[in-house]
Amino acid sequence: MLGKFPTLRPIPLAALTLTLLASAAQAQSQDQSKATAAKADSDKNVLEQVVVTVQRRKEKLQDVPVAATAIGAADLELRGLGNIADLSALAPNLMVLHSPGTASASQIAIRGSVTSNPALFWESTVGMYVDGVFMGKGQGSIFDLVDLERVEVLRGPQGTLYGRNTLAGAINMITRKPSGELGGHASIDLGNFNARVEKLSLDLPSMGPLKASIGLRDEKRDGWIKTTAGSSVPEMNSRGNSGGRVALTLDASRDLQIDYRYDWTKANQASSFSQIVKSDVATMFYIPGIIVNQERQTKASLDSPAFERLNIAGNSLTAEYKVGANDTLKYILSHRTMHFADSLDLDGSPIPLATTQRISDYSQDSNELQWLGSHGDLSYVGGIYSFKDDGFTNNPQSFFFGAQNFDSRYGFTTNALSVYGQADYKLSENTTLTGGLRNTKEDKTVRRQLSQSGIATTYSATGVPTYTPYGPIILVPTGTSGATSFSATTPMLSLGYKVHKDLNVYARYSEGFKSGGFNGEAQSVAAVLTPFRPEKLKSMELGLKTTFDQNRGQLNVAVFNNRTTDLQQPIFTAKGSVATDVRNVGTSTAQGLEVEAQWRPTRDLRLQVGYGYMSAKFNEFMELGVNVANNRAYVYAPKNTLNLLVDTVLARTSMGTLRGVVDYNYTDSYYLYAYQLTVTDPGSAGAANTLIKPSGIVNLRLNLENISLWGNNATASLWVRNATDNAQIANKIDFGPGFANLTAAYFNEPRTFGVSLGVKW
């Protein structure tokens, strides 16, 4: 076990890292200047040209007039990234968190827009796509994909080409197509806490016009929190999941190609530990036994079941037909299903104070028909998109030693249809005008039931308690259902100008929306049947993209101003059953700066930095008819985010190439709930209790690459994640004054380390 590292403050660490980078760059530059580089070395000294499909067609990233970050397969492998949760802070003003209590549900924020609850009736602000297929919900959205070719992070509304629920941006995950040649890659990672990750990717030889590949992944890890004797589970925060992918490509003719993808993920693991960092339960409810600890615990005592189970299966079929030399017709069909179940001991203690479970089933179907083409100075894409989903959640809850029990259930459907088009027109050799428009219509339904049962306690004149079972009390009767419809039109207009071959500037206006709906967890019939309206965002963005030093460096800068109306905010309720309702509270403004730069001063050294700055505020926040905007915390909006990467070749030996990687991520402080900044109402929650402190995480990796192993190419690695063993609260559930200020915290993972062995053939 590695010893404790000294605690390092984020800014001094950043300064130290930059100093080391400068020293390394100077030293390597001096070495390089001793001899004239050969042309081959010069070619290896330039940055890779990244090709993306941000605008539904292949383009160089530096030519796309939108703030976007692309991470290719080599970098994904080099940095040990495998799923959405690993992307936090890798793009400016991007945050990715695990939802409280679960490892497979995400909370994604881009530029301060976020969906903070994994409940199935919630809609996301960030659209997630796998090979062009939209992932409908945050629940079950964190899963590892085999054979990732690249990940694209698009910041700002993508309401024209991507449509519903891309108000903040979109994340595209693109997997690798089968090569048609026999080959593959196998690897194993071994780490502390008995961690083991095994991966296999295999390409088969072409079978006539058919190409095929298969990928498999299996992960096991003990929990880093052990429990005391007599606890309901032996450990918490464990990992146990597996998944796979089958990819088929059929070259049906010279003009027709058909791709089929099937992916699956299964998980069966302990849930995340709800560590209590604040509680007035003993003084308010006269109930002893809650364990309060401000430091990250590695030992816990629990009384309730604590598990997380996930089963995802996805099918997609993509057909591309070349209508002519310049036009392509594309059709994407998909069907995905998910079953999710978990159980949380919310009080994190050996007393049965608060326990909740969720059993969810979800399915989605989509169809998309696209027409892509270009003629002369005009390029265009148009399409029709349909999306349907159906979900149901059973959410039983128990409180106060079984004195209050809730049978909480809800179901919903969505039926959405949209038509869109976007065109680029070259006004001159250096000037391009882009315009787009999308119209979306949605029909939504909800069905809800809620009942309460338990034990009523009364006291005699002498103070002797009497316990009387009661229930069920019907709060929302079975059969309560509602239906509503929404529509939205989202335009986009941008103007790009190529100042010279290495410098592009652009101005972009875009709109996006997050769908409205019903509050599936609401606790009264009226609240269930009152829909919340779609949230809408208007964004202005100015950007610059340039290459320099003979293609050895890149610098991308964007400034933005976002104005949100009909802002949807989560209102957490702990009066009766635990629930979160969505309400339209008003308007907000977020503005900021984003800088991404990378430089390869020598063949063997690459430096990369990504920085985001953001200032966000409420313009209007209506509560009981009063505008309280000046006294409400803006959530998931850290002022600064920073990522630094050093990728350097340390030595070239007869055994292989020794490469070192330093990866540092910093996130400024942020609030989790839009509570009072200054407590003027003691009966309502204060924002200070949900403040997450600044944190910096250092990841290190040492690779020995290009090892010759029986004629194949092998790599051996030593790695450390969270090298300084930073103990940081990443998320919380604040129950508020109505539930004795019980606050459950979810800490980040401690330092993990291990070895990786991989071979390609």
- The pLDDT value given to residue 665: 94
CB atoms closer than 10 angstroms to residue 334 = 22
Please return the burial class of 71, using the count of CB atoms within 10 Å of its CB with bins 0-12, 13-18 and 19+.
Answer: buried
CA–chain centroid gap for 399, Å, is 31
Q: What is the CATH number of the domain that holds 688?
A: 2.40.170.20
From edge to edge, which strands make up the β-sheet containing 68-72?
68-72, 148-155, 169-175, 126-130, 133-135
- DSSP output for 451-483: EEEEEEEEE-TT--EEEEEEEEEEEEEEEEEEE
Instruction: Return the minimum-mean-pLDDT range out of 42-56, 137-151, 498-512, 602-616.
Output: 42-56
The answer to whether residue 454 sits within a structural domain is yes
| Residue 656 φ/ψ region, left for φ over 0, alpha for ψ in the -120 to 50 degree band, beta for the rest | left
Which helix H or strand E contains 551, and what residues bound it?
none
Greater model confidence, 715 or 104: 715
Q: Looking up tokens 């020794």, which residue turns up? A: 658
Tokens of 136: 């409908």
- The pLDDT value given to residue 44: 64
Tokens of 415: 């039926």
3-state secondary structure 72-127: EHHHHHHCCCCCHHHHCCCCCCEEEEECCCCCCCEEEEECCEECCCCCCCCCCCEE
Distance from C-alpha of 571 to C-alpha of 475, rounded to nearest angstrom = 19
| φ and ψ at residue 293, rounded to 5 degrees | -150, 125
SS3 assignment, position 32: helix
Secondary structure letter of residue 528 according to DSSP: H
The mean pLDDT value for 285-312 works out to 94
Confidence grade of residue 463 (pLDDT, cut at 50, 70, 90): low
Q: What percent of the chain has pLDDT over 90?
A: 73
Distance from C-alpha of 550 to C-alpha of 257, rounded to nearest angstrom = 38
- The pLDDT value given to residue 81: 80
The mean pLDDT value for 49-57 works out to 80
**Do strands 169-175 and 210-221 pair parallel, antiparallel, or not at all (unpaired)?**
unpaired
Tokens of 195: 């961690």
pTM of the model: 0.89
29, pLDDT greater than 90: no
Distance from C-alpha of 442 to C-alpha of 337, rounded to nearest angstrom = 21
Contact 308, 98 (CB under 8 A): no
594, pLDDT greater than 90: yes
Secondary structure letter of residue 761 according to DSSP: -
- The pLDDT value given to residue 28: 42
174, pLDDT greater than 60: yes
Distance from C-alpha of 748 to C-alpha of 746, rounded to nearest angstrom = 7
| φ and ψ at residue 527, rounded to 5 degrees | -70, -35
The mean pLDDT value for 324-332 works out to 94
The mean pLDDT value for 307-335 works out to 96
SS3 assignment, position 187: strand
Length of the chain: 761
- The pLDDT value given to residue 693: 95
Confidence grade of residue 461 (pLDDT, cut at 50, 70, 90): low
Distance from C-alpha of 196 to C-alpha of 221, rounded to nearest angstrom = 6
The answer to whether residue 5 sits within a structural domain is no
CA R_g for the chain: 27
List, for residues 223-243, the tens digit of each pLDDT value. Answer: 999 999 999 999 999 999 999
The mean pLDDT value for 745-760 works out to 96
Confidence grade of residue 462 (pLDDT, cut at 50, 70, 90): low
Contact 389, 422 (CB under 8 A): no
160, pLDDT greater than 60: yes
The mean pLDDT value for 80-106 works out to 84
Confidence grade of residue 101 (pLDDT, cut at 50, 70, 90): confident
The answer to whether residue 448 sits within a structural domain is yes
The mean pLDDT value for 31-54 works out to 59
- The pLDDT value given to residue 571: 79
Confidence grade of residue 144 (pLDDT, cut at 50, 70, 90): confident
Distance from C-alpha of 663 to C-alpha of 350, rounded to nearest angstrom = 39
The answer to whether residue 2 sits within a structural domain is no
List, for residues 522-576, the tens digit of each pLDDT value. Answer: 999 999 999 999 999 999 999 999 999 998 999 999 999 999 999 998 877 666 6
The mean pLDDT value for 637-660 works out to 95
31, pLDDT greater than 70: no
Domain count, the chain: 1
Distance from C-alpha of 213 to C-alpha of 178, rounded to nearest angstrom = 5
- The pLDDT value given to residue 470: 82
Tokens of 372: 């892509």
Instruction: Return the minimum-mean-pLDDT range out of 95-104, 197-206, 412-421, 633-642.
Output: 95-104
Contact 94, 518 (CB under 8 A): no
Instruction: Return the minimum-mean-pLDDT range out of 86-100, 164-178, 268-282, 607-621.
Output: 86-100
- The pLDDT value given to residue 34: 42
Q: Which amino acid is at 241?
A: N
407, pLDDT greater than 80: yes
Q: Looking up tokens 């042309």, which residue turns up? A: 39
The answer to whether residue 4 sits within a structural domain is no
631, pLDDT greater than 70: yes
Burial per residue of 115-150, b for 16 or more beta-carbon CB atoms within 10 angstroms, e otherwise? bbbbbbbbbbbbbbbbbbbbbbbbbbbbbbbbbbeb
The mean pLDDT value for 413-435 works out to 96
CB atoms closer than 10 angstroms to residue 631 = 17
Contact 757, 714 (CB under 8 A): yes
What Å distances lie between residue 159 and 138, 172, 512, 514, 543, CA to CA? 19, 15, 5, 10, 19
Of 309, 325, 203, 331, the C-alpha closest to 259 is 331
146, pLDDT greater than 90: no
Greater model confidence, 18 or 544: 544
Of 588, 583, 586, 549, the C-alpha closest to 566 is 586
32, pLDDT greater than 60: no
The mean pLDDT value for 79-106 works out to 84
The answer to whether residue 107 sits within a structural domain is yes
Distance from C-alpha of 155 to C-alpha of 153, rounded to nearest angstrom = 6
The answer to whether residue 58 sits within a structural domain is yes
Residues 6+ apart with CB under 8 A from 590: 111, 112, 113, 560, 561, 562, 564, 614, 615, 616, 617, 634, 637
- The pLDDT value given to residue 201: 95
Domain that holds residue 569: 10-760
- The pLDDT value given to residue 36: 42
List, for residues 345-377, the tens digit of each pLDDT value. Answer: 999 999 999 999 999 999 999 999 999 999 999
Confidence grade of residue 159 (pLDDT, cut at 50, 70, 90): confident
Q: What is the mean pLDDT of the chain?
A: 89
Confidence grade of residue 471 (pLDDT, cut at 50, 70, 90): confident
- The pLDDT value given to residue 13: 39
The answer to whether residue 1 sits within a structural domain is no
| φ and ψ at residue 673, rounded to 5 degrees | -130, 145
6, pLDDT greater than 60: no
- The pLDDT value given to residue 37: 39
CB atoms closer than 10 angstroms to residue 685 = 23
| φ and ψ at residue 42, rounded to 5 degrees | -65, -40
- The pLDDT value given to residue 459: 61
Instruction: Return the minimum-mean-pLDDT range out of 186-190, 343-347, 579-583.
Output: 579-583
Name the maximum alpha-carbon separation found in the chain: 98
| φ and ψ at residue 26, rounded to 5 degrees | -65, -45
Q: Which amino acid is at 246?
A: V
83, pLDDT greater than 90: no
